[in-house]
Each structure stands twice: as structure tokens, then as C-alpha cells.
Amino acid sequence: MNTFTDQWDEYKRITLDAAGAYNEKDYVSALEKFRILAEKNPTNYKIHELLVFIYVNLNRLEDARREYDIYFALMKEKIPGLSSPRSFEDVVKDIGNREELEEKYRLLMEQPADGFPTASDKSTAGIQERAGQTSDAINLAILNMAEGNYDAARKIIQGFINKYYGKISPSGKETSLEDAI
């Protein structure tokens, strides 16, 4: 008869074997053992976390992604309010309409630089306006990056920085992205 103690001893043995194989970088053996552990204890987030690493090391990225989704779902149960990380594709989807952003950016770049609410304007309205205009420029740059047009993205950000944050950096050169960041 298989008692609870026997089952517990077997689980501990598999756990030790799995950890040993993982530490020795024997990912094939570790995978076999951690999958058994996952079957026996499917809500143990640490098992799924280690499975992510094992699958990555075995270059099984789809399996790693599936395990990551399981791991993250278990973590969300453990930490209420934990939000899901967003992919670049998710960010691009949420940006909105290209034509609208291009028009906003065009209008922003046509207005005089002194029309931009300055950083010294600490009012809520000033901060919100500055954030919205900066966001429009960044979102337009992101859309260009998503299409592989990195040069256009850089020009958008560089133009915005130069116009609204000054062309002269402390080094006396034109402001670069590196200076602004």
C-alpha cells in the first residue's frame, strides 16, 4: 500500500533529483523530473518558473512561453493586483491612429517652442499637457519603430527634444537622445 509518507518521500526524491539535474545543467533530465513535479503539484509557481528556464535552455521557446503564462497566472493569484507585462506588440496596438498622431505631431512642431508648457509650470494642467504632447511624439516614434523605420523614429524624437528642450546641451553640442535620457 502506498502511504502518504511513501508519497512524500518519493516527491522529495524527485525534487532533489530535479534540482541536481538542473544545477548540473542536465536540462533534459531536469525537464523530465520537473514535469513530474508539476503534475503532482500544479499550483507550485516555483516549479513552473524553473520549467521556463529549462525550456529556454533547451531552446523550446513556445513551451517556455506556455510555462511562463502558467507561472504568471499563479503569481497573480499569490499577489493580487499584479499586472501582466505588456509586449511591444501590445503597446503598438494601444497607440491608436497613425494619421491622428502625425497631425498632432505636425501641429506640435509648428507651434512656437514657447507655446509648450515649461517644466517650471507645476500646475496639474501644465503637467498633463506636457505629458500628452510628449506622449504623442513618443507614440508616433513607436509606430515607426514597429514598422522598422528606426531612422524616422529617431528624427521624430530628436526633433521634439531639440525644439522643446533646447538644442544646446551642457557640452555645447546639439542635444542628442543620449543627452536627453
pLDDT tens-digit readout, 66-107: 999 999 999 988 888 887 777 777 778 888 788 998 998 888
pLDDT digits (tens, 9 = 90+) for 144-173: 998 899 999 999 988 888 877 765 444 555
d(CA 67, CA 71): 6
CA atoms within 13 A on the CB side of 68: 13
Chain-wide mean pLDDT for the chain?
81
Tell me the Ramachandran region of residue 97: left when phi exceeds 0, alpha when psi lies from -120 to 50, beta otherwise.
beta
pLDDT tier, 122 (very low <50, low <70, confident <90, very high otherwise): low
Q: Is 174 found in the same domain as 99?
A: yes
Residue 83 within any structural domain of the chain: no
Which range, of 29-38, 106-115, 140-149, averages the lowest pLDDT? 106-115
Residue 62 within any structural domain of the chain: yes
Q: Is 95 found in the same domain as 71?
A: no
Residue 98 within any structural domain of the chain: yes
Q: Is 168 found in the same domain as 92?
A: yes
Residue 53 within any structural domain of the chain: yes
Residue 60 within any structural domain of the chain: yes
Q: Is 161 found in the same domain as 97?
A: yes
Q: Is 107 found in the same domain as 53?
A: no
At 9 the pLDDT is: 86
At 37 the pLDDT is: 92
Q: Is 54 found in the same domain as 99?
A: no
d(CA 24, CA 118): 57
Q: Is 12 found in the same domain as 73?
A: yes
The residue segments making up the domain with residue 162 are: 88-180
Residue 23 within any structural domain of the chain: yes
Q: How many domains does the chain have?
A: 2
Average pLDDT for 132-138:
80
At 4 the pLDDT is: 77
For 77, other C-beta atoms within 10 Å of its C-beta total 11
At 136 the pLDDT is: 84
At 126 the pLDDT is: 61
